[in-house]
Structure 1
């Protein structure tokens, strides 16, 4: 695969290679010239939307797989035309990252037509579950699930999508009592704005069709408890309500704080943290609640904007430390050809999160 580094970075690298310095000095100089605070975890292919989990004592990462297909670029994300999923693992932070190869392909999903976007994974009673969005034969996003006997797959897709599912960006949170909750949704290309009360509204086809007025409550991510077999929703999806400090829903016109896509939930000190992308303002924001359904009170940003239009993240604990996984476009400079990264995450004494700046 060609390595589409920005021209300025290629020039800097060539100049450093010609300089009469030791290897250690050259490495230090390269790091000083980089504008990026964290290094790509995977460089032999393009990866994005990293969902990280600790399974069997290792960190497993379930990203989407960016490729160049020639698909037309549009406001609905048509150029994000991914066709399979790979699984990656590392023994610990900083260790070598292992590519377990393709674990699920588009042609092996009976109901799907295109666009394998951001997935997530879960574990229960010896089985591993991969949750993924794809467009059905009517070009509407649904959420599917595939099952494996180990965290590295391969995964076998169920013959049909999850009943009642729609939109994209599935994420599964397992609470301390063993209950599992599915979060999902994304506006614009994610089609969440096309649905009301779980039903597709006729005539909505554009990225803003169905978006509330700026002074109205924003569209919220959806949440539903999963069935015991992890294959269906046990209840009708509800809004995971995001509110301000006064308890008022975040408004549709509040682009710095409103939900756009990429919901993720983790638990810290008995509090539930809902984090998500603000989309066109490029933050990873977060809000805190007392239960998996919310409401969640907006507190600030986990991550400031990266290079590239999109961002999508996950947060996981490993051996007493917390880590943020995210993506940017350092390797390619192209919006749809991304690379995954990680950074250590720190909490303040009051439970708020210290904002991470991905750029130097």
Structure 2
């Protein structure tokens, strides 16, 4: 058994399954997140969010798999009786994409379902699934700063089987639109978009958590959809949610009903680890409990 501080993951994602009374943790395997051939993806399972069993090798690429490195940010969703993993993949000379894997069980084994949901000539990452009020699936994803400098956030509607996009992606915002996003590079014109996650607030507002580089390192903040739809338009909150060099967050509820945030922190390799914070939602705001990051 492991505790979170023992698990070297970036980009943590937790799937809570009430039917099994278990939580499943996925993430980018930290040991070779930046270099070397990718191992694949691992999962851990827990009944209490403290003690974790694993690693469970939920995906190992077959010999003929097209991508060989930068296996990042796996997110797993239960959809029509199966489990779908959205994740980023890269190969030399081929732009980074968000692809989809599928399995009959949350612990895998996962196999390829859709090679790419993102445009073939775009450098993209961190696709996240959102199901709108009509039951239609959407993917929110990032077009990377490495291609556009001012990182962009997009939404695209998906086919019901999650195999492909419907229509063209819609630009939602650029990273520099957030006052807490700090440009890097010699001309301070490189802005990061990273790790989107959508959440319907108790007051029915649709918000998006996303991460960028801030004054004190990796930073997590919120944008709000004025229309209440994934297409936006989106307005950035004035103040970020987490500022002390941690991010790529997602929200989930415990089996007792407590809203929680998981991120990786710090954002320094090889020290990054999954962290869980209880969250208070009040008056249209989210507040981290037991946190001294601000």
TM-score normalised per structure 2: 0.81
- Structure 1 or 2, whichever has the larger Rg, is 1
Structure 2 residue ranges without an equivalent (≥5): 184-190
Q: Which has the higher strand share?
A: 2
Q: Shift of the alpha carbon at 1:265?
A: 0.9
Q: Shift of the alpha carbon at 1:242?
A: 6.8
Q: Distance in 2 between matches of 1:239 and 1:80?
A: 33
The match for 1:49 is 11
Query: Of 138, 161, 168, which residue of structure 2 is paired with 1:236?
Result: 168
Work out whether 1:275 is the aligned partner of 2:209: yes
The match for 1:287 is 223
Q: Distance in 1 between matches of 2:107 and 2:64?
A: 18
1:227-275, Cα deviation, whole Å (9 max, x unpaired):
11012112211112379xxxxx81699529x762111111122221101
The match for 1:85 is 41
Query: Of 274, 277, 280, which residue of structure 2 is paired with 1:346?
Result: 280
Determine helix, strand or coil for the equivalent of 1:320.
Answer: coil
1:188-241, Cα deviation, whole Å (9 max, x unpaired):
4xx4xx2xxxxxxxxxxxxxxx32xxxxxx543111121110121122111123
Q: Shift of the alpha carbon at 1:293?
A: 1.8
Q: Is contact 1:242–1:298 with CA below 8 Å preserved after alignment?
A: no
Q: Which has the higher helix share?
A: 1
How many equivalent pairs are there? 274
Structure 1 residue ranges without an equivalent (≥5): 1-38, 69-76, 195-209, 212-217, 244-248
CA change 1:48–1:80 in 2 (3 A) is farther
Q: Which has the higher contact order (CA 8 A, sep 6+)?
A: 1
Q: Shift of the alpha carbon at 1:80?
A: 8.3
Q: Shift of the alpha carbon at 1:106?
A: 3.8
Q: Distance in 2 between matches of 1:63 and 1:358?
A: 25
Work out whether 1:325 is the aligned partner of 2:288: no
Work out whether 1:174 is the aligned partner of 2:137: no
- RMSD value, Cα: 3.1
TM-score normalised per structure 1: 0.67
Determine helix, strand or coil for the equivalent of 2:281.
Answer: coil
1:54-76, Cα deviation, whole Å (9 max, x unpaired):
233432222111115xxxxxxxx
Work out whether 1:250 is the aligned partner of 2:212: no
Q: Is contact 1:83–1:105 with CA below 8 Å preserved after alignment?
A: yes
CA change 1:311–1:280 in 2 (3 A) is same
Aligned residue runs from structure 1 range 188-207, under 5 A: 188=145, 191=146, 194=147
Q: Is contact 2:158–2:164 with CA below 8 Å preserved after alignment?
A: yes
Q: Shift of the alpha carbon at 1:296?
A: 2.2
